[in-house]
Amino acid sequence: MGAGHSHTEGLTATTAAGRHKTRLYIALALTTSFMLLEVAGGLWTGSLALLADAAHMLTDAGGLALALFAIWFSQRPATPASTYGYVRSEILSALANAVVLLLLTIYILYEAFWRFFEPPEIIGGPMLVVAVAGLVVNLISMRLLAGGSKESLNVKGAYFEVLADMLGSLGVIVAAIVVMLTGWNVVDPIVGAGIGLFIVPRTWILLKSAIHILMEGVPPEIDISLVEKRLMAIEGVEGVHDLHVWSITSGIDAMSCHLVIGDIRNARASLAAAQAAMNKDFGLVHSTIQVEDRDFRATEPETRF
């Protein structure tokens, strides 16, 4: 006897990223508008730090657009070939953001290395004005995305990009002031390299989280040994096997398992107790549980999973 809850209908409505779609749109509009100004400012002043910040703005805009596309795409209904629908496209979006940020960091560090030997002339005044404006835009965008970053890996990726830009803007402000007061242009590639290095560990965390979900690893907030113990504590349950817990996308976890019970006549009660325990104790509302007796368990082949 088994019980399966597909819950594919309505999955997209409950995705964490989808709840923050409007904020993502506003952040995208702000980022795209200022990015054009920052690129122009970087070319005018000759500042690598400003261009590095502009490049991060470009990835921000791309990341936000990709996040919004993933939300739109994830709202497509489930099909016989894609029974979960397309909600996992949000995780692919987060993975793409992480890869782009790492590649961009490599380029910035490469450019900074050569500028240590031949630092170009920097126009400090306009560089400072553009950096201050960029700081304001980034702070607004961070405020918009802060809440969603705690719920959605997709929004978290966008938030990390904006955070890196905010710190980049601070670095550019410092570099501009140093250039204006001392004329020491080497500070510009130093700040540019610093912006690139700052984002590496955070991007690496994002990359690992996305890969962990795509590999259907156990969600970090769930201890699967505790899940097994809770199931074994249900009256009449004699064994648990083929237990799996994974994330479909950010904020939507699922589990499946087989329960061996002593008296198959109690299957309905055991099943209800198991599903209630998963929901109450672990927040696992999407559960598929097969209930079987000892004789049926003895006929099942052993599997690796």
Whether the Cβ atoms of residue 236 and residue 262 lie closer than 8 Å to each other:
yes
Name the CATH superfamily for 8-214.
Cation efflux protein transmembrane domain (1.20.1510.10)
Q: Which two tokens stand for residue 180?
A: 């204006």
The angle at the Cα of 192, spanning 110 to 40, to the nearest 5 degrees, equals: 100
Residue 221 is classified by DSSP as T
| DSSP per-residue string spanning 112-144 | HHHHHHSPPP--HHHHHHHHHHHHHHHHHHHHH
Question: Of 179, 300, 285, 190, whose CA–CA distance to 242 is shortest?
Answer: 300
Distances (CA, A) of 91 to 42, 207, 221: 33, 10, 18
Question: Of 178, 152, 149, 183, whose CA–CA distance to 163 is shortest?
Answer: 149
CA distance 278 to 255: 9
Which residues of the chain does CATH 3.30.70.1350 include?
224-299
- pLDDT of res. 10: 44
- pLDDT of res. 48: 67
Residue-wise pLDDT for 9-56, tens only, equals 444 444 555 566 777 788 888 888 877 777 777 777 776 666 766 766
The amino acid occupying position 210 is A
Neighbours of 7 (CB within 10 A): 16
Question: Of 25, 24, 17, whose CA–CA distance to 71 is shortest?
Answer: 17
- Burial bucket for residue 190 (CB in 10 Å: 0-12, 13-18, 19+): buried
Distances (CA, A) of 2 to 87, 214, 258: 25, 26, 9
- pLDDT of res. 16: 54
Residue-wise pLDDT for 174-189, tens only, equals 888 888 888 887 887 8
- pLDDT of res. 244: 95
Residue-wise pLDDT for 282-305, tens only, equals 999 889 999 999 888 888 877 766
**Can you tell me whether residue 236 is helix, strand or coil?**
coil
Cα radius of gyration (the chain)? 25
pLDDT tens track, the chain, 305 positions: 555 454 444 444 445 555 667 777 888 888 888 777 777 777 777 766 667 667 667 767 777 777 777 777 767 777 787 777 777 777 887 788 788 778 878 877 887 788 777 776 777 777 788 788 888 888 888 887 777 766 666 677 777 777 777 877 787 788 888 888 888 878 878 877 887 787 788 778 888 988 999 999 999 889 999 999 999 999 999 999 999 999 987 778 899 999 999 888 899 999 999 999 999 999 998 899 999 998 888 888 777 66
- pLDDT of res. 291: 94
CA distance 301 to 280: 32
**Can you tell me whether residue 230 is helix, strand or coil?**
helix
Place of tokens 């590639």: 189
Does this model's pTM top 0.85? My answer is: no
Question: Of 152, 177, 134, whose CA–CA distance to 33 is shortest?
Answer: 134
For the chain, where are the alpha helices, taking DSSP H only?
21-45, 48-74, 89-117, 124-149, 153-182, 187-214, 224-232, 267-282, 294-299
- pLDDT of res. 299: 86
Beta strand pairing call for 286-292 and 252-261: parallel
Which residues of the chain does CATH 1.20.1510.10 include?
8-214
| DSSP per-residue string spanning 2-33 | EEE----TTTGGG-TGGGGHHHHHHHHHHHHH
CATH of 224-299, one of 3.10.20.740, 3.40.50.720, 3.10.20.70, 3.30.70.1350: 3.30.70.1350
The amino acid occupying position 96 is A
Q: Which two tokens stand for residue 8?
A: 């594919």
